[in-house]
Chains A and B, each alone.
Chain A
Amino acid sequence: MMLASLNRHCFTVIILIPFLVLGSISLFNPALSFTITGQNEARYARGQLPNGDDYNYFENYLEINANLDKLRFYIRQSYLLPSEFDGRWQTDLNVFNKRYIEYSQDEFLIRGGDFYRNWGRGLLFGTVEYTDLNFDTGLQGVLIESSIENFEGALFRGVETDTGKHIQEIGEGVRLSYRFPHNIRLGAAYCLLDVVDRHPRVNRYGMEIETEFGPVSLFSAYTSDKLDTDPTQYNHGFYGAASMYGSGWGALFDYKDYRLLTHGGKLGRTPLQYPPTALPEVTMYLLDHHPRQMHFGDEVGWQIEFTYNYEYWDVSLNVNQSSQHDGNSIIPKQKQELSPYQGYFIHVERDDFSSKRFVLQGGFHEDIEFIQTAAGGFSPWWFKRTGLGVIYEHQLTDEYSLTSDVQIMKVEDKRVDDSFIDEYLSLSLSHSPDYSITASFEFSGDENESGGMSLDGSTTYWPSGELTVNFLERHQLRLFIGHERGGLRCSGGVCRKVNPFKGIKFTLNSQI
């Protein structure tokens, strides 16, 4: 016990030494630039789940960056009493769960500690952190990067442990890229991955190409994972993007074809990868409640997005389709057994940049997922959702503005051949730059919804209020009171089920 305590204190001292050294050097040599930046974020909630169980959490994240000339040092201290996500407790103030030390010159960087990087738009290698989803694939190890004229090189070795401590991945990799004349960039990467207790070692080979012809940009990346024990078995993925623009308009075409190695089925996450989803992530509040769950192990799809701007008008249109593969087909098929998804979304906005802004949004998406039944089989979960929304913002004075957001969505549940209506209303009053107050009401005719309050026996509603205050330039306080609807929340193909909640939430963010 004493030894453990001694070790912890030694660790704290070791962590603090670089700060003291950097600070001291800057004192003796004022010509060297010494800066400290960072933030502290405290999150607190006290409330209940629909079953009446208490749901309380208190988290505090302190991050500090110290920079002395070409040296950089970072630490993050997390205090969980407990965590919002899985009830983890971390009450030891000596635990610095993220840290790195970095030295960089104009064309060279070396870092020891935690790092996040994406190669080939995340398809060749990718690590990412979403604290609000409790998702973190960051590596701890060594990263070296160099960039000399048209040449770029990088190599790393590191270990990643997921937040649930279930999966540990060890990775090492190298990437080279060269920019040729005519703005053509070619890159290649190799990674060796060891997913402890899950897979044999994996050899990942990948390449990317990027080029531009005037207003046209093209990008594509291909990756292939081969198991060390069985080189005949391999997983692979391709991503391509083409975009172009003209005066007042822009267009994008995204294509994905993934048969990637995953942990735990086609819906599982992929080891040290963060591939593009080729789906719109933010559309309307009600539609965004029901995102596509990516099947990284078996997914093909595309999206087209077109934007047009004329004077105060702004129009954007998105069309997308995804499904599992139909044999060797390279286009998505809308067959029920392939978990297909298709979406259409239009956004029309008029903003005169002085006092009034008006937005009309409309969207449709159809999604079929297979859910496991109690009997052990699979049943299709088939929904069609059609939504319409209007946002109106009026700037009352230089400081005050009022925003209303009204949305309605028809949901057709094909499992039971039934339909219901979801509605959302919100009204915000903002005083720039100091505070904003928002009142929101969400209604649903879905009888299977849990949480919220009952309106007439068949409609559930979730009333809530939110206050955001900015003070002393560096602090932001957010207070939520009321009922929050649960559901799936996704970002970049990473999803987490959010519990319905009633109570208060409080967040204080302070920047230094």
Chain B
Amino acid sequence: MKKTTILSIILIFSLFSNITADQKSPDFTLRNLDGGKFKLYEQLETNPVLIDFWATWCKPCIRALPHLNRIYDLYSEKGLNVYAISVDNPKSRSKVKPFVKSKGYKFSVLLDSDQSVRKLFGGTSIPLTLLIDQSGEIVYRHLGYVAGDENKLIEEIEKLLNVDEDAKPDTTTEESKE
């Protein structure tokens, strides 16, 4: 009986989560690597925002970051703000800055050491990618990373930015063109 009840709750919950297709993001404030403050809804006043939760110890997250950097290169001038939110806790916090700087990543890095912002979006699993439009709606979300996931993300970004077919940037790398 109890199992039936709980399974019913899960099903209702799953259904509910898909009925509310457009979900608004909560506002939050974090500090960046240089101590400056970031407030989500202040950023949304100018541009849509792409955020990616990651950590230095998370291998799929590390795999996804070069693609996030490429997305920054391709779409920041077209009006997309890109942020990588590190959930590194005290044991690995010191690694974040040398890691990001040595790789030459251009997107801004925010610090969420106690995962309070990550938990606002449910759970603690990473990588979690969220694309948020200027009204605050989460228009795309994805948990995890496997090779090729960036293609679907790019598709959603172009849809959000209304990038014309002719104006689409070349998203292939130099090597893959050969």
Using a CB–CB cutoff of 8 Å, the interface residues on chain A facing chain B are 33-42, 58, 60, 62-63, 65, 67, 72, 79, 81, 91, 93, 104, 106, 116-118, 121-123, 126, 128, 131, 179, 183, 185, 215, 217, 219, 241, 243-252, 254, 274-279, 281-282, 305, 307-309, 312, 351-355, 357, 393, 395, 398-401, 403, 430, 432-433, 436, 468, 470, 472-476, 492-493, 508-512
Contacts of A65 in B (CB 8 A): 26, 119-120, 122
CA distance A104 to B147 in the complex (A): 39
Contacts of A250 in B (CB 8 A): 98-99, 101-102
CA distance A493 to B18 in the complex (A): 39
Contacts of B141 in A (CB 8 A): 473-474, 511
Tell whether, in the assembled complex, residue A430 and residue B59 are in contact, meaning their CB atoms are under 8 Å apart.
Answer: no
Residues of chain B in range 71-112 having any CB-CB distance to chain A below 8 Å: 89-95, 97-99, 101-104
CA distance A34 to B39 in the complex (A): 17
Indicate the member of B2, B57, B119, B125 with the most A CB atoms within 10 Å: B119
- In the complex, how many angstroms separate the beta carbon of B33 from the nearest chain A beta carbon? 9
Tell whether, in the assembled complex, residue B146 and residue A430 are in contact, meaning their CB atoms are under 8 Å apart.
Answer: yes
Interface membership of B45, Cβ < 8 A: no
Contacts of A508 in B (CB 8 A): 10, 14
Tell whether, in the assembled complex, residue B102 and residue A432 are in contact, meaning their CB atoms are under 8 Å apart.
Answer: no
Tell whether, in the assembled complex, residue B3 and residue A58 are in contact, meaning their CB atoms are under 8 Å apart.
Answer: yes
CA distance A281 to B124 in the complex (A): 18
- In the complex, how many angstroms separate the beta carbon of A12 from the nearest chain B beta carbon? 14
- In the complex, how many angstroms separate the beta carbon of A421 from the nearest chain B beta carbon? 24
Interface membership of B163, Cβ < 8 A: no
Tell whether, in the assembled complex, residue B89 and residue A128 are in contact, meaning their CB atoms are under 8 Å apart.
Answer: yes
Tell whether, in the assembled complex, residue A398 and residue B143 are in contact, meaning their CB atoms are under 8 Å apart.
Answer: no
Tell whether, in the assembled complex, residue A401 and residue B13 are in contact, meaning their CB atoms are under 8 Å apart.
Answer: no
Tell whether, in the assembled complex, residue A35 and residue B94 are in contact, meaning their CB atoms are under 8 Å apart.
Answer: no
Tell whether, in the assembled complex, residue B35 and residue A35 are in contact, meaning their CB atoms are under 8 Å apart.
Answer: no
Tell whether, in the assembled complex, residue B27 and residue A33 are in contact, meaning their CB atoms are under 8 Å apart.
Answer: yes
Cβ contact of A281, chosen from B5, B92, B125, B172, cutoff 8 A:
B92
CA distance A129 to B146 in the complex (A): 27
Tell whether, in the assembled complex, residue A241 and residue B94 are in contact, meaning their CB atoms are under 8 Å apart.
Answer: yes
Which 6 A-B residue pairs are closest in the complex by CB-CB distance? A39-B122, A250-B98, A432-B148, A250-B102, A354-B176, A122-B90
- In the complex, how many angstroms separate the beta carbon of B115 from the nearest chain A beta carbon? 8
Q: Number of B interface residues at 8 Å Cβ cutoff, please give it.
A: 68
Interface membership of B169, Cβ < 8 A: no
Indicate the member of B90, B99, B140, B149 with the most A CB atoms within 10 Å: B90
Give me 8 other A-B pairs in contact (C-beta within 8 A), A122-B91, A353-B173 excluded: A33-B27, A39-B121, A39-B122, A41-B123, A217-B98, A354-B173, A511-B143, A512-B20
Asked if A67 meets B27 with Cβ closer than 8 Å, knowing A40-B13, A42-B10, A309-B103, the reply is yes
Contacts of B103 in A (CB 8 A): 309
Contacts of A510 in B (CB 8 A): 10, 13-14, 17
Residues of chain B in range 130-178 having any CB-CB distance to chain A below 8 Å: 136, 140-144, 146-149, 151-152, 172-173, 175-176
- In the complex, how many angstroms separate the beta carbon of B55 from the nearest chain A beta carbon? 10
Tell whether, in the assembled complex, residue A512 and residue B123 are in contact, meaning their CB atoms are under 8 Å apart.
Answer: no
Interface membership of B32, Cβ < 8 A: no
Indicate the member of B17, B35, B63 with the most A CB atoms within 10 Å: B17
The count of A-to-B residue pairs whose CB atoms sit within 8 angstroms is 217
Contacts of A72 in B (CB 8 A): 26
Contacts of A67 in B (CB 8 A): 26-27, 120
Tell whether, in the assembled complex, residue B90 and residue A274 are in contact, meaning their CB atoms are under 8 Å apart.
Answer: yes
Asked if A399 meets B148 with Cβ closer than 8 Å, knowing A351-B66, A474-B17, the reply is yes
Asked if A395 meets B148 with Cβ closer than 8 Å, knowing A60-B10, A250-B99, the reply is yes
- In the complex, how many angstroms separate the beta carbon of A167 from the nearest chain B beta carbon? 21
Tell whether, in the assembled complex, residue B173 and residue A116 are in contact, meaning their CB atoms are under 8 Å apart.
Answer: no
Which partner residue on chain B sits nearest A41 by CB separation?
Answer: B123
Contacts of B5 in A (CB 8 A): 93
Tell whether, in the assembled complex, residue A512 and residue B90 are in contact, meaning their CB atoms are under 8 Å apart.
Answer: no
CA distance A254 to B29 in the complex (A): 29
Tell whether, in the assembled complex, residue B35 and residue A183 are in contact, meaning their CB atoms are under 8 Å apart.
Answer: yes
Tell whether, in the assembled complex, residue B6 and residue A433 are in contact, meaning their CB atoms are under 8 Å apart.
Answer: no
CA distance A370 to B98 in the complex (A): 36
CA distance A54 to B162 in the complex (A): 56
Tell whether, in the assembled complex, residue A116 and residue B114 are in contact, meaning their CB atoms are under 8 Å apart.
Answer: yes
Tell whether, in the assembled complex, residue A433 and residue B142 are in contact, meaning their CB atoms are under 8 Å apart.
Answer: yes
Tell whether, in the assembled complex, residue A123 and residue B90 are in contact, meaning their CB atoms are under 8 Å apart.
Answer: yes
